[in-house]
Homo-oligomer: A and B are copies of this chain.
Amino acid sequence: MGVAHMGVMERVAPRRKKAVALAPAPAIEANRLLRGDCIAEMAKLPDGCIDMIFADPPYNLQLGGDLFRPEGGRVDAVDNDWDKFDTLSSYDRFTKAWLAQARRILKPNGTIWVIGSYHNIFRVGAALQDEGFWILNDIIWRKANPMPNFKGTRFTNAHETLIWASQGEDAKYTFNYKAMKTLNDELQMRSDWVLPICGGQERLKRNGTKAHPTQKPESLLYRVMLSCTKPGDIVLDPFFGTGTTGAVAKRLGRQWIGIEREPDYIEVAEERIAEALPLDESALAIMQTARQQPKVAFGTLVETGYLQPGSVVMDSKRRWSATVRADGSLAVGSDTGSIHKLGATLQGAPSCNGWTFWHIEKAGKLHPIDTLRQTYLLANEP
C-alpha cells in the first residue's frame, strides 16, 4: 500500500515497441510424439521453430502421509516419482534447464504457457522472468468442482494458475482478441476462467483406473490455443502426458509436437489423438459457454458494508429479532447460525430461506434482506 521502503530506483525511460527482425523459421516435422526426456528432446530441435509452448511441469507437491475423507475413503493422491524433488533448489535447476531450451526453440514472436499451483508456480514465474520472458497475463483457472479441504484447515484450494509470456517486451505475439470476446458473450475475456475439472467420459482410464493422475480438461487447452495461435501453427508440449494438447491441437487444425518419457502415457496419448476428430461448431460453443450466474453470500454484504455487524434483522411478523455478527452469522440469545440455519431452528422447520425470512427496518418499514442482495448485484455486476 505504501512507500515505506528503501532506495527509489531511477525512472525507467518510456519504451517503444520495436519490430523483431525475423529470420525464416526452419521447417520441422510436426504432429508426432518424441519419446524421452524433455530437455534432451528439445535440445535436438532447431532454434525458433515453435509457435506456442504449453507446459504442465511437475508441481512438486510435497505431500505427507495418507489423507482420509470424512466418510473414510482414502484420497488417491499424486505420489508418482516424477513429482518428487529433494529440495527447492533442485526444482529450480530443473525449471531453469527446461525453460532455457523452451526459449531457444520458440519463435521470436511465439508465446509460452505454464500451469502450476502454489507449490511451484511462484518459482516457475520467477524463473520465466529471469530467463528473459515477458509475462503477458497470469490466468486463474477457477475450478467449478475442486476437491474440498477435508480437515477444515485451510481455504479450499479451488484454482490453478497459468502464466502466459512472450519472448520479450517488444515481441509481436498473436492474441485473438475478438475470438475471445465472442466466446465470452461479447465481454472482454478476463484473467479468471471458470472451467470444470477433467472427469466423466473425458477422463482417460487404463484397467479401470485413471490413466494419468493430473489430466487437464480439453476445455482449458481449447481456450489457450484459440486465444494465441493461428490454424497451422506448431504447438509443443514438453510434458505431454496423455496428450490433451495434441488432441485439442488436432481438433483445432493446429500442428503439434509432444515430448513424453513414460511408455504408459505415450500409448494412451497415441490412441487418443488418432481418434480425435475436428470439432464442429456446435461442439465448440458447448465447450465455451459456461456462464456462471452471480451468487452472493450473506457474508459478502457484511464484508462490503451493505449491512453492519451489530445491525438487527427480524422476521416479517417481528416474532424474532437477531443480531448480525462479524462473520455473517446471526445471534438470538445463545442461538447462533447462518441466516438459513437460524431461521429454520427458530421456526422448528427443516429448512428456511433466510433471504426472504429475515428483514431489515428502514423508515419504519420492513424489507427482506434479499433487497440488499439485489442492490449489491446492481452495483457490482460485471
Contact = CB atoms under 8 A, between A and B. Distances in A.
A37 B184 contact: no
Given A3-B239, A155-B189, A182-B337, 17 more contacts: A1-B214, A1-B237, A1-B239, A1-B244, A3-B261, A4-B240, A5-B37, A8-B82, A8-B84, A14-B65, A68-B350, A121-B125, A125-B125, A136-B154, A282-B323, A283-B309, A283-B326
B196 A304 contact: yes
Interface residues of A, number: 168
Interface string A196-228: 100000100000000010111111001100110
A71 to B, nearest CB: 9
Interface string A56-90: 11100010111010101000000011101111101
A194 B158 CA distance: 13
A10 to B, nearest CB: 6
Nearest to A200: B379
A175 B190 contact: no
A36 interface: yes
A14 B65 CA distance: 4
A20 B25 CA distance: 58
Contacts of A146: 190
A9 B85 contact: yes
Interface string A254-285: 00000111100100000000000001101111
Contacts of A303: 183, 195, 219, 222-223
Contacts of A309: 279, 283-284
Give the number of times this chain occurs in the complex, counting copies: 2
A371 interface: no
Interface string A315-358: 00000000111111101001011101100000101111100000
A281 to B, nearest CB: 10
A138 interface: yes
Contacts of A164: 155
Give the residue among A6, A38, A122, A351 with the most B Cβ atoms within 10 A.
A122
Nearest to A130: B88
A9 B84 contact: yes
A293 to B, nearest CB: 12
A144 B144 CA distance: 18
Nearest to A303: B219
8 closest cross-chain pairs (CB), A and B: A122-B125, A1-B241, A183-B299, A14-B65, A4-B38, A179-B327, A283-B309, A283-B310
Given A195-B303, A282-B310, A80 B121 contact: no
Given A3-B260, A183-B297, A327 B176 contact: yes
Contacts of A65: 14-16
Given A126-B122, A303-B223, A2 B283 contact: no
Give the residue among A88, A129, A176 with the most B Cβ atoms within 10 A.
A129
A86 B302 CA distance: 42
A200 to B, nearest CB: 8
Contacts of A300: 183, 194-195, 219
A191 B153 contact: no
Contacts of A217: 304
